[in-house]
């Protein structure tokens, strides 16, 4: 069972308290009606499915907040977590390894 | 005294006899024995039959890696356990055990016919043999195979024991309390760290318990163990025996299964049988030692053939001589010591056969002193004996030439093909392994873990102790603490080296050799070579084709031998062929230990409404809905479900029904931007909804499919009282939070779950106004039409009153603070008496709503239904610029013709359809038929005939057409209708 750091609670807690919420940094278009069918399809369904570091969303059920994480999908290791709305942090050398 | 027990020897209590039964016969044993050691003390080697060939088998090990000696144990009703390893099960008074895989008896087994036909049962046998005729699979092959396969018998009764579950946080967890583990614990316990030392055996000490002649720091091994355990206890180290580390998970979480009562004559009342520990450790030290490897030769599985180290353990721990005339065959020095110890304890060692040409001179000297015949540079080509080994055939090897063999009489054969570091737990962490030419050793680590002693290929007590101490110190330093190093002086150490082999060379026909690698799954060397010949290249494929390593021992003894042979057949180095992945649990673990408290009534919580006690007292039958228990119907004397539901429905339509709707999800959406938030979340327009009015709300996913629905009241300009489906409450709140937090954080809105804060009572029927009005204060009845809401009092209780209907009758939902729920219900029941107020349950609620064509999300929709598909187009605010899912409603697939649409169905013969039944347009078409939809809801109705709803391709254009529902007892015909069966003009609502 993983230990996950909630950037709002500033506490590292067991995975049981968290749920996964899909890939991060996919903003809902401001006006979906202006999107073509293909663009809207991509927004709905197309995801990176990364092997390795993956930007993704998690929710801490305890405090109810959604936040972002960088997790390695091979090792299942959390490389970092950060608050929702912050820009995508760059991959560190360690993370890119 | 048992024939093979040595008086006074071993760690068993010779003054405490314990008797037990095996296959109905009573045997004497001693306190401290395992079933295997006690049987061996009585000269019984035959303990089971193998899985596939039903070959007679005996214990081959003295530990948890045992593949052969699997028995059923029982302690009264419900306490039967199959596949227990006789080498692990401790004796207790009255223990009843039985052998497995035999009929009619262990010594004469009909299934052994498989052994004669072994040429048929080679690798891939199932894949090749049962391919055709295809129709035979279901009726003939599978039932026969299933009947013959399987280890042991599954218990059929409920397990009456209970199982505990605990968490533990510790600084250092040490797995394995042999010399390396104890040394690591001594090092780690310096400077006050919290240290936990666990061992799967009843006693700590590991291999030292089987080597009492070793001296450490001037003390005999056993005295040294006792002294060190005393020191550890004094230092506050947590010592846990009978505790198996079953799995090593992320971030140093280790699962431990502690066996608490199986060894006790009579367990304390209420004591858990096992306890599962979830341990989070700062540092882990794996000191699990090494597992002895068998040698691979024809007849290496006969009862009496066992690992040399096991014989040494039976001798020293249990005082049991496994035979009077053992022969030894080995490729490692360690088996020589077993031969010496047996010779020193009254056995006449027939010979030591060593595959190596050159053996250490001191070993040769020690053998000569004891008069033991030594055959170096020899192979074993076969063994003889039906239910017990009688002789072994040894032959000299020169290069690839096998010379003339000779039979050596023996009553047991002790083998050793070297030692495999026990790396199962390390492999759970995905740590990488490195091949050292003989075996795999731990390499790159992924966790904060140290591996010590034989687990990383070291041999001999002094190196293991020094390595354990160093690992303990490194663990301490990993915690940021300091300690000092320790060294140990070992006398009479037993160093050793050895070589690894594939099958031993033979002068016989290798195609006829029964040289076993995986004893439990009956996999031979020939099977591995056949798999390679038939195209398997990766060890993972070889494993699955042959089942090598797939038995309950997870290849503890077979993996390296299988790999060596596969690599040889492929002409590759073993690391290029690879090692299969070890997975938890390390040893078979009971389901009970995994379940812990999560069974029966404590499997999951049961949510009850404030009105639940009334329902229970008034004979309600309950059904589970999400985690709630809800009153399903209220049968009166003599009524079945159908009669009760019909009475409840009719009473509601005729006069007045009352229903506990407290489980409805409730969310308060509050704040200056609440209306904007509602506009963006729900399909409906909310801006013009006046305070004091409510509206049916429809929630879509961004993909345009219906997610939830419910009536939503606007209590004030900035406060919405949202209701959701019972099962959808948490999901809807999470979805709202997601959008609010991450897409529209600029909106000033607060979301609060109020599901459990309100008790909700629904009142429906033509007499509801007459009954309710006198109880209500604070409502202007001249301005309270259908779809209104107000804060008021009902029966003197503070309330939120909604005028709405989920039945088609005039209806209300009264919400009061949960603590008043029962009082409200009681008051309404009293006030409703003149109108024969009738409580109804969820089933009547379903019937009443279905008669009106009101959908239930999740029953009439399945995640692929749009508002148009469900006939709810009217609830979509088309003038709104945007809402969640709006853009998807114009996607090409959503507007395409032929989508499944929600319609009503009336059967021609008046029969009740089955929910989930598939619908076809032409019942005479060949199978497989083209299915165009399915029945979503189906009920007996108040109108004298059943009604149903269904989703059907292009359903809206099929009104009046006939569709067909093929069922096992014949094809039903049904007419496609509107979903509104009752009062289509809503006349009753407007009344």
Helix (H) or strand (E) holding B427: helix B424-428
- Decide if B953 is inside a domain: yes
Only one residue has tokens 């060949």, namely B926
Q: Is A44's CB within 8 Å of B888's CB? A: yes
Alpha carbons B428 and B430: distance in angstroms, whole number: 5
Eight-class DSSP state of A88? P
Peptide bond into B652 cis (omega under 30): no
What's the per-residue H, E or C state across B166-181?
Answer: EEEEEEEEEECCCHHH
Q: Is B734's Cβ below 8 Å from some Cβ in A?
A: yes
Q: Is B251's CB within 8 Å of A2's CB? A: yes
CATH number at residue B128: 3.10.20.440
Q: What are the φ and ψ backbone dihedral angles of B614, each rounded to 5 degrees?
A: -65, -45
Eight-class DSSP state of B639? -
Which residues of chain B does A84 touch, with a Cβ-Cβ cutoff of 8 Å? 741-742, 745
Peptide bond into B939 cis (omega under 30): no
- Judged by average pLDDT, the poorest of B150-154, B192-196, B724-728, B839-843 is B150-154
| Residue B436 shares a structural domain with residue B479 | yes
Helix/strand/coil percent split, chain A, to 5: 20, 40, 40
pLDDT tens across B250-287, in order? 999 999 999 999 999 999 999 999 999 999 999 999 99
Classify residue B709 by burial, with Cβ atoms within 10 Å: 0-12, 13-18, 19+.
Answer: buried
Eight-class DSSP state of B91? P
Which residues of chain A does B737 touch, with a Cβ-Cβ cutoff of 8 Å? 64, 66
- Nearest residue to A4 via CA among A84, A61, A85, A86: A61
ipTM: 0.97
Alpha carbons B366 and B496: distance in angstroms, whole number: 14
| Residue B142 shares a structural domain with residue B1 | yes
So what CATH class is A3-25+50-96?
A: alpha beta
Alpha carbons B475 and B479: distance in angstroms, whole number: 7
Which residues of chain A does B738 touch, with a Cβ-Cβ cutoff of 8 Å? 21, 59, 66
Q: Is B169's Cβ below 8 Å from some Cβ in A?
A: no
Q: Is B250's CB within 8 Å of A1's CB? A: yes
| Token digits of residue B612 | 């639940």
Query: Angle at CA B42, nearest 5°, toward B41 and B45?
Result: 85
| Residue B268 shares a structural domain with residue B408 | no
| Residue B519 shares a structural domain with residue B407 | no
- Decide if B105 is inside a domain: yes
Q: Is A28's CB within 8 Å of B702's CB? A: yes
Min Cα–Cα distance to chain A from B194, Å: 20
Which residues of chain A does B891 touch, with a Cβ-Cβ cutoff of 8 Å? 37, 40-41
Cβ proximity of B86 and B98 under 8 Å: no
Peptide bond into B104 cis (omega under 30): yes
Q: Is A76's CB within 8 Å of B250's CB? A: yes
Q: What is the CA radius of gyration of chain A?
A: 15
Cβ proximity of B296 and B515 under 8 Å: yes
CATH number at residue B212: 3.50.50.60
- Nearest residue to B712 via CA among B740, B757, B677, B763: B677
Q: Is B128's Cβ below 8 Å from some Cβ in A?
A: no
- The conformational region for residue B989 under phi > 0 = left, psi -120 to 50 = alpha, else beta, is alpha
Average pLDDT of A3-22? Answer: 96
pLDDT tens across B222-253, in order? 999 999 999 999 999 999 999 999 999 999 99
Which residues of chain B does A2 touch, with a Cβ-Cβ cutoff of 8 Å? 250-251
Percent of chain B with pLDDT over 90: 88
- Decide if B452 is inside a domain: yes
Alpha carbons B951 and B747: distance in angstroms, whole number: 38
- Nearest residue to B415 via CA among B336, B307, B545, B498: B307
Alpha carbons B338 and B309: distance in angstroms, whole number: 7
Of the three residues B562, B580, B598, the one that is the final residue of a domain is: B580
* pLDDT confidence bin for B569, thresholds 50/70/90: very high
* pLDDT confidence bin for B152, thresholds 50/70/90: confident
Only one residue has tokens 């996913």, namely B701
Q: Is B251's Cβ below 8 Å from some Cβ in A?
A: yes
| Residue B265 shares a structural domain with residue B379 | no
Cβ proximity of B356 and B362 under 8 Å: no
| Residue B12 shares a structural domain with residue B124 | yes
pLDDT tens across B475-485, in order? 999 999 999 99
CATH number at residue B756: 3.30.1360.120
| Residue B317 shares a structural domain with residue B216 | no
Q: Within 13 A of B912's CA, how many CA atoms are on the CB side?
A: 9
Alpha carbons B230 and B723: distance in angstroms, whole number: 64
* pLDDT confidence bin for B104, thresholds 50/70/90: confident
Alpha carbons B386 and B407: distance in angstroms, whole number: 16
Which residues of chain B does A35 touch, with a Cβ-Cβ cutoff of 8 Å? 887
Q: Is A27's Cβ below 8 Å from some Cβ in B?
A: yes
In chain B, whose CA is at the least distance from the CA of A74? B430
Write the residue in B253, B745, B887 that is nearest to A1 by C-beta. B253
Q: What are the φ and ψ backbone dihedral angles of B882, each rounded to 5 degrees?
A: -155, 150
Q: Is B702's CB within 8 Å of A66's CB? A: no
| Token digits of residue A63 | 């405090």
CATH number at residue B530: 1.10.10.1100
Write the residue in A1, A27, A59 that is nearest to B249 by C-beta. A1
Which residues of chain B does A32 touch, with a Cβ-Cβ cutoff of 8 Å? 882, 886-887
In chain B, whose CA is at the least distance from the CA of A68? B742
Write the residue in B734, B887, B891 that is nearest to A33 by C-beta. B887
Q: Residue B905: which residues within 8 A CB-CB, separation 6 or more?
A: B913, B935, B947, B948, B949, B950, B963, B974, B975, B976, B977
Checking if the pLDDT of A96 tops 60, the result is no
Percent of chain B with pLDDT over 70: 96
Listed by start position, the domains of chain A span 3-25+50-96
* pLDDT confidence bin for B141, thresholds 50/70/90: low
- Give the best residue of B251, B278, B280 to mutate against chain A (max A CB count within 10 A): B251
Average pLDDT of B903-919? Answer: 97
* Pairing between β-strand B719-724 and β-strand A3-6 as defined by DSSP bridges: unpaired
In chain A, whose CA is at the least distance from the CA of B701? A44
Write the residue in B703, B738, B882 that is nearest to A31 by C-beta. B882
- Nearest residue to B95 via CA among B44, B35, B152, B43: B35
SS3 assignment, position B123: coil
Which residues of chain B does A36 touch, with a Cβ-Cβ cutoff of 8 Å? none
How much is the pLDDT for B579? Answer: 83
Average pLDDT of B962-971? Answer: 96
Q: Is A63's Cβ below 8 Å from some Cβ in B?
A: no
Q: Is A1's CB within 8 Å of B741's CB? A: no
- Nearest residue to B945 via CA among B990, B988, B919, B977: B977
pLDDT tens across B928-942, in order? 999 999 999 999 999
Min Cα–Cα distance to chain B from A32, Å: 6
Checking if the pLDDT of A97 tops 50, the result is no
* pLDDT confidence bin for B155, thresholds 50/70/90: confident
Count the domains in chain B. 6
CA B820 to chain centre: 43
- Residue A72 neighbours by CB distance under 10 Å: 16
pLDDT tens across B421-454, in order? 999 999 999 999 999 988 899 999 999 999 999 9
Q: How many CB pairs under 8 A join A and B?
A: 51
| Residue B349 shares a structural domain with residue B455 | no
pLDDT tens across B22-43, in order? 999 999 999 999 999 999 999 9
Crossing angle for the helix pair B221-234 and B179-188, nearest 10 degrees? 30
Checking if the pLDDT of B660 tops 80, the result is yes
Cβ proximity of B863 and B651 under 8 Å: no
Checking if the pLDDT of B119 tops 70, the result is no
How much is the pLDDT for B131? Answer: 60
Checking if the pLDDT of B531 tops 90, the result is yes
Q: Residue B20: which residues within 8 A CB-CB, separation 6 or more?
A: B26, B27, B29, B35, B38, B91, B92, B94, B95, B96, B97
CA end-to-end distance (rounded Å), chain B: 96
- Decide if B858 is inside a domain: no
* pLDDT confidence bin for B113, thresholds 50/70/90: confident
Collect contacts of B670-673 with beta carbons under 8 A, ≥24 apart.
Answer: B670/B718, B670/B719, B670/B720, B670/B749, B670/B750, B670/B751, B670/B752, B671/B718, B671/B747, B671/B748, B671/B749, B671/B750, B672/B718, B672/B748, B673/B747, B673/B748, B673/B749
pLDDT tens across A71-95, in order? 999 999 999 999 999 999 988 765 5
Complete DSSP assignment for B940-988: E-TTSSEEEEEEEETGGGGTT-EEEEEETTEEEEEEEE-S--S-TT-HH
Cβ proximity of B619 and B672 under 8 Å: no
In chain B, whose CA is at the least distance from the CA of A38? B891
Alpha carbons B826 and B829: distance in angstroms, whole number: 5
| Residue B267 shares a structural domain with residue B323 | no
Q: Is B251's CB within 8 Å of A59's CB? A: no
| Residue B707 shares a structural domain with residue B677 | yes
- Which residue range forms the structural domain that includes residue B820? 664-760+773-830
| Residue B367 shares a structural domain with residue B253 | no
CA dihedral B855, B859, B863, B867 (to 10 degrees): -10
| Residue B343 shares a structural domain with residue B247 | no
Higher-pLDDT residue of B496 and B122 is B496
pLDDT tens across A31-50, in order? 999 999 999 999 999 999 99
Q: Is A59's CB within 8 Å of B886's CB? A: no
Min Cα–Cα distance to chain A from B732, Å: 13
- Nearest residue to B612 via CA among B604, B603, B621: B621
Measure Cα distances from B63 to B36, B285, B531, B795, B854 in Å: 10, 21, 30, 72, 64
How much is the pLDDT for B462? Answer: 97
Cβ proximity of B496 and B332 under 8 Å: yes
Q: Is A44's Cβ below 8 Å from some Cβ in B?
A: yes
- Judged by average pLDDT, the poorest of B126-135, B630-639, B714-723 is B126-135
- Decide if B237 is inside a domain: yes
- Averaged pLDDT of chain B: 94
Q: Is A27's CB within 8 Å of B743's CB? A: yes
Crossing angle for the helix pair B641-654 and B842-851, nearest 10 degrees? 60
Alpha carbons A70 and B212: distance in angstroms, whole number: 54
* pLDDT confidence bin for B578, thresholds 50/70/90: confident
Q: What are the φ and ψ backbone dihedral angles of A46, each rounded to 5 degrees?
A: -90, 120
């Amino acid at each position: 069972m993983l230990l996950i750091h909630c950037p709002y609670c500033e506490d590292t807690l067991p995975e049981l308290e968290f749920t996964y919420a899909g890939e991060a940094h996919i903003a809902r278009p401001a006006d979906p009606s202006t999107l073509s069918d293909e663009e809207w399809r991509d927004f709905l369904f197309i995801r990176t499915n990364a092997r390795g570091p993956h930007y993704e969303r998690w929710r801490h059920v305890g405090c109810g907040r959604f936040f972002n994480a960088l997790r390695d999908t091979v090792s299942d290791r959390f490389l970092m977590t950060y608050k929702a709305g912050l820009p995508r942090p760059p991959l560190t050398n360690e993370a890119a390894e | 005294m048992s024939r093979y027990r040595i008086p006074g020897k071993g760690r068993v209590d010779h003054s405490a006899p314990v008797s037990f039964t095996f296959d109905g016969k009573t045997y004497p044993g001693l306190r401290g024995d395992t079933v295997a050691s006690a049987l061996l003390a009585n000269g019984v080697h035959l303990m089971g039959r193998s899985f596939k060939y039903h070959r007679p088998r005996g214990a081959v090990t003295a530990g948890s890696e045992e593949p052969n000696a699997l028995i059923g144990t029982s302690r009264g009703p419900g306490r039967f356990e199959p596949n227990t390893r006789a080498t692990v099960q401790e004796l207790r008074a009255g223990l009843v055990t039985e052998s497995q895989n035999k009929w009619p008896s262990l010594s004469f087994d009909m299934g052994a016919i498989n052994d004669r036909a072994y040429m048929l049962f080679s690798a891939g046998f199932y894949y090749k043999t049962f391919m055709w005729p295809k129709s035979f699979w279901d009726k003939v092959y599978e039932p026969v195979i299933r009947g013959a396969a399987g280890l042991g018998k599954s218990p059929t009764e409920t397990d009456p024991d209970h199982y505990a579950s605990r968490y533990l946080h510790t600084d250092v967890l040490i797995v394995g309390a042999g010399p390396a583990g104890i040394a690591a614990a001594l090092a780690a316990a310096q400077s006050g760290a919290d240290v936990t030392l666990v061992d799967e055996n009843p006693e700590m000490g590991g291999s030292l318990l089987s080597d009492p002649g070793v001296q450490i720091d001037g003390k005999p091994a056993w005295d040294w163990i006792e002294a060190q355990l005393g020191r550890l206890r004094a230092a506050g180290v947590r010592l846990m025996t009978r505790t198996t580390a079953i799995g090593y998970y992320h971030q140093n979480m280790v699962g431990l299964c502690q066996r608490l009562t199986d060894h006790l004559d009579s367990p304390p009342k209420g004591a858990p049988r096992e306890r599962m520990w979830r341990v989070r450790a700062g540092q882990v030290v794996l000191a699990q030692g090494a597992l002895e490897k068998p040698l691979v030769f024809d007849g290496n599985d006969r009862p009496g053939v066992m690992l040399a180290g096991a014989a040494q353990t039976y001798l020293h721990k249990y005082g049991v001589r496994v035979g009077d005339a053992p022969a030894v065959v080995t490729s490692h020095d360690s088996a020589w010591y077993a031969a010496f110890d047996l010779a020193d304890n009254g056995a006449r060692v027939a010979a030591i056969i060593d595959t190596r040409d050159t053996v250490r001179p001191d070993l040769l000297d020690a053998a000569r002193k004891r008069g033991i015949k030594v055959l170096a540079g020899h192979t074993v080509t076969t063994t003889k004996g039906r239910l017990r080994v009688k002789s072994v055939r040894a032959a000299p090897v020169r290069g690839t030439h096998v010379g003339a063999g000779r039979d050596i009489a023996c009553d047991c054969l002790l083998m050793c093909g070297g030692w495999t570091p026990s790396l199962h737990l390390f492999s759970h962490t995905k740590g990488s392994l490195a091949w050292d030419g003989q075996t795999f050793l731990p390499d790159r680590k992924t966790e904060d873990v140290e591996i010590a002693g034989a687990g990383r290929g070291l041999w001999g007590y002094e190196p293991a102790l020094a390595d354990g101490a160093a690992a303990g110190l490194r663990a301490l330093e990993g915690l940021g603490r300091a300690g000092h190093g320790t060294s140990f002086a070992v006398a009479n150490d037993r160093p050793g080296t050895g070589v690894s082999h594939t099958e031993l060379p033979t002068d016989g026909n290798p195609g006829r050799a029964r040289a076993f690698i995986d004893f439990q799954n009956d996999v031979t060397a020939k099977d591995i070579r056949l798999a390679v010949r038939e195209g398997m290249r990766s060890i993972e494929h070889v494993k699955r084709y042959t089942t090598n390593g797939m038995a309950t021992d997870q290849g503890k003894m077979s993996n390296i031998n299988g790999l060596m042979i596969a690599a040889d057949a492929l002409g590759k180095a073993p690391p290029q062929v690879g090692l299969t992945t070890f997975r938890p649990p390390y040893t078979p673990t009971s389901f009970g230990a995994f379940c812990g408290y999560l069974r029966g009534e404590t499997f999951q919580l049961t949510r009850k409404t404030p009105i639940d006690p009334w329902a229970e007292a008034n004979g309600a039958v309950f059904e589970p809905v999400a985690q709630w228990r809800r009153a399903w119907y209220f049968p009166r004397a003599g009524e079945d479900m159908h009669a009760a539901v019909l009475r409840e429905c009719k009473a509601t339509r005729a006069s007045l029904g009352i229903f506990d709707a407290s489980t409805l999800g409730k969310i308060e959406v509050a704040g200056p931007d609440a209306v904007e938030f509602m506009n963006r979340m729900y399909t409906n327009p909310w801006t013009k909804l006046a305070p004091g009015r409510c509206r049916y709300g429809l929630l879509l996913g961004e993909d345009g499919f219906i997610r939830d629905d419910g009536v939503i009241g606007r209590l004030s300009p900035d406060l919405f009282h949202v209701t959701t489906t019972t099962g959808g409450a948490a999901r809807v709140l999470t979805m709202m939070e997601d959008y609010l937090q991450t897409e529209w954080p600029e909106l000033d809105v607060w979301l609060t779950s109020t599901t459990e804060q309100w008790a909700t009572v629904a009142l429906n029927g033509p007499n509801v106004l007459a009954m309710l009005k006198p109880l209500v204060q604070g409502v202007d009845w001249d301005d309270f039409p259908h779809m209104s809401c107000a804060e008021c009092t009902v029966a003197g209780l503070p309330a939120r009153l909604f005028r709405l209907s989920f039945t088609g009758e005039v209806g209300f939902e009264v919400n009061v603070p949960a603590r008043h729920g029962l009082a409200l219900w009681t008051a309404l029941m009293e006030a409703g008496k003149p109108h024969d107020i009738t409580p109804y349950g969820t089933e009547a609620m379903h019937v009443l709503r279905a008669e009106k064509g009101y959908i239930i999300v999740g029953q009439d929709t399945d995640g692929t239904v749009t508002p148009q598909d469900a006939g709810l187009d009217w609830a979509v605010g088309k003038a709104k610029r945007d809402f969640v899912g709006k853009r998807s409603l114009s996607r090409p697939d959503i507007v395409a013709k032929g989508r499944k649409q929600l319609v009503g169905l009336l059967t021609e013969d008046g029969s009740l359809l089955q929910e989930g039944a598939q619908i076809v347009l032409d019942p005479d078409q060949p199978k497989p038929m083209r299915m165009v939809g399915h029945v979503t809801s189906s009920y007996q109705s108040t109108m004298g005939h059943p009604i149903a709803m269904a989703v059907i391709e292009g359903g809206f254009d099929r009104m009046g057409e006939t569709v067909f529902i093929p069922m096992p007892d014949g094809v039903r015909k049904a007419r496609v209708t509107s979903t509104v069966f009752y009062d289509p003009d809503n006349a009753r609502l407007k009344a």
